[in-house]
Amino acid sequence: MTLSGKRILLIISGGIAAYKSLDLIRRLRERGAQVRPLMTAAAQEFVTPLAVGALAADHVYTDLFSREDEQDVGHIRLARDCDLICVAPATADLMAKMANGLANDLASTVLLATNQPVLIAPAMNPAMWAHKATRRNVASLRSDGIAFIGPMAGEMAESGEAGEGRMAEPLQIVASIEALLDDAPKPLKGKTAIVTSGPTHEPIDPVRYIANRSSGKQGHAIAGALAHLGAQVTLVSGPVTIADPAGVNVVRVESAAEMLEAVTAGLPADIAVFVAAVADWRVAAAAGEKIKKKPGEGPAPLELTENPDILKTIGHHENRPNLVVGFAAETADVISNAQAKLARKGADFIVANDVSPATGIMGGDRNRVRIVSSEGVEDWPELSKAEVAERLAARVAERIAGKG
């Protein structure tokens, strides 16, 4: 739980995006944070204090002049007894107050009285966001050290207008909070890493493709873990349905050929970890039109041709990263296959795992791997994919430090 024990004061101001704050509260609590909610009067027109309080499992603070609240906690304690204040959504009005030091309600008073980091997630109509007054306020708030997440480009909930002004999604806000509160050591600071993840889709015709069962869970977790140790990570991902890991640059591709191109474009890099389950074969000449079933005729033959081996290409590249890690998913002879791959593919180590259906590893949340390198074979116990990622990232950091 990445936010274990962290106390977040969540200020909800009055915008339609306040409905997303309900989900934000759940996401924060899932990660172990305590959420203390504070709502402006306008926010209560959009979502009820009852819903907010129930999700937060805490009292909802709304009134600067509430006798009970002032006696119990008081606005100065509210402002300081937290690790971070998050304002989501942050309206143009509340930002204007913050930028000018106004304090005429509980939210603005707390924001003026706090000595803790403040993150705001603006949400407003694109014309309001683009207005010179808001531009001035944004500049002042940034120079005052206020952190921003968003707003994002997209369609507005109420007007259908498109442009910049949509509030960031709850998980993006959570990732920002995690980054702001993260005081872990950063041994990979200044290093760049490329990670491949997920399956590839090899087209047969415009509507059909060859694929495999890779979920991307392990590769995405590794990309996130390297970023957590301070690396600047490019994640080249095949088609997956899982969320992007926090703090990484994601390049989305479909086929092995596109994956190789994206990886090569990411060079030079210090570290490369190839986790993707790249299809070994593609259709030699994918049809431009949907292949039709013809009555009385058998299935159309599929002529296959070998895909480029991305790991092997990069493992022997003139711009080879300092540390190259490959995976070996096998259903038999796991270790001998991995040992053969080390040299053939030019990897520093191979993370080998048994993906026989009985192990449930492919698509599952757990993994049991062995690290095969020139130094021998190391057995790791069964761990969650997140734990495998953390250990592997730590191992990468050690090796990089060792290589100077």
Dist CA 129 CA 145 (whole Å): 19
Q: How far is the CB of 233 from ligand C5P (least distance, A)?
A: 16
Query: Which is nearer to ligand C5P, 266 or 326 (by Cβ)?
Result: 326
Stretch that binds ligand C5P, among 38-46, 52-60, 183-191, 304-312 (CB under 6 A): 304-312
Query: Which is nearer to ligand C5P, 47 or 260 (by Cβ)?
Result: 260
Interface residue with ligand C5P, options 311, 352, 396, 397 (CB under 6 A): 311
The site string for ligand C5P over 149-188 (x = CB under 6 A, - otherwise) reads ----------------------------------------
The site string for ligand C5P over 196-225 (x = CB under 6 A, - otherwise) reads x-----------------------------
Query: Which is nearer to ligand C5P, 251 or 275 (by Cβ)?
Result: 275
Interface residue with ligand C5P, options 8, 88, 310, 388 (CB under 6 A): 310
Query: Which is nearer to ligand C5P, 221 or 310 (by Cβ)?
Result: 310
Dist CA 110 CA 99 (whole Å): 14
Using CA atoms, how far residue 242 sits from 3, 47, 54, in Å, is 21, 29, 28
Binding of ligand C5P by 371 (CB under 6 A): no
Residue in the shown chain whose Cβ atom is closest to ligand C5P? 310
The site string for ligand C5P over 314-343 (x = CB under 6 A, - otherwise) reads ------------xxx------------x--
Query: Which is nearer to ligand C5P, 129 or 349 (by Cβ)?
Result: 349
Query: What would the 3-class secondary structure string for the chain be?
Result: CCCCCCEEEEEECCCCCHHHHHHHHHHHHHCCCEEEEEECCCHHHCCCHHHHHHHHCCCCECCCCCHHHHHHCCHHHHHHCCCEEEEEEECHHHHHHHHHCCCCCHHHHHHHHCCCCEEEEECCCHHHHHCHHHHHHHHHHHHCCCEECCCEEEECCCCCCEEEEECCCHHHHHHHHHHHHCCCCCCCCCCEEEEEECECCEEEECCEEECCCCCCHHHHHHHHHHHHCCCEEEEEECCCCCCCCCCCEEEECCCHHHHHHHHHHCCCCCEEEECCECCCEEECCCCCCCCCCCCCCCCCCCCEEECCCHHHHHHCCCCCCCEEEEEEEECCCHHHHHHHHHHHHCCCEEEEEECCHHHCCCCCCEECEEEEECCEEEECCCEEHHHHHHHHHHHHHHHHHHCC
Query: Which is nearer to ligand C5P, 86 or 251 (by Cβ)?
Result: 251
Q: How far is the CB of 311 from ligand C5P (least distance, A)?
A: 4
Q: How far is the CB of 306 from ligand C5P (least distance, A)?
A: 8
Query: Which is nearer to ligand C5P, 83 or 254 (by Cβ)?
Result: 254
How many chain residues touch ligand C5P (CB under 6 A)?
Answer: 14
Interface residue with ligand C5P, options 172, 307, 353, 373 (CB under 6 A): 307
Question: For helices 92-100 and 106-113, what crossing angle results, to 10°?
Answer: 40
Binding of ligand C5P by 14 (CB under 6 A): no
For residue 75, the cross-strand partners are none
Active site residue 307: no
Taking alpha carbons only, the member of 245, 241, 235, 239 closest to residue 2 is: 245
Binding of ligand C5P by 256 (CB under 6 A): yes
Interface residue with ligand C5P, options 105, 244, 270, 309 (CB under 6 A): 309
* Annotated catalytic residue within 115, 137, 212, 322: 212
Interface residue with ligand C5P, options 229, 276, 324, 396 (CB under 6 A): 276
Task: Give catalytic residues, as residue numbers.
Answer: 212
Chain residues that interact with ligand C5P, rule: CB under 6 A: 196, 256, 274-276, 278, 307, 309-311, 326-328, 341
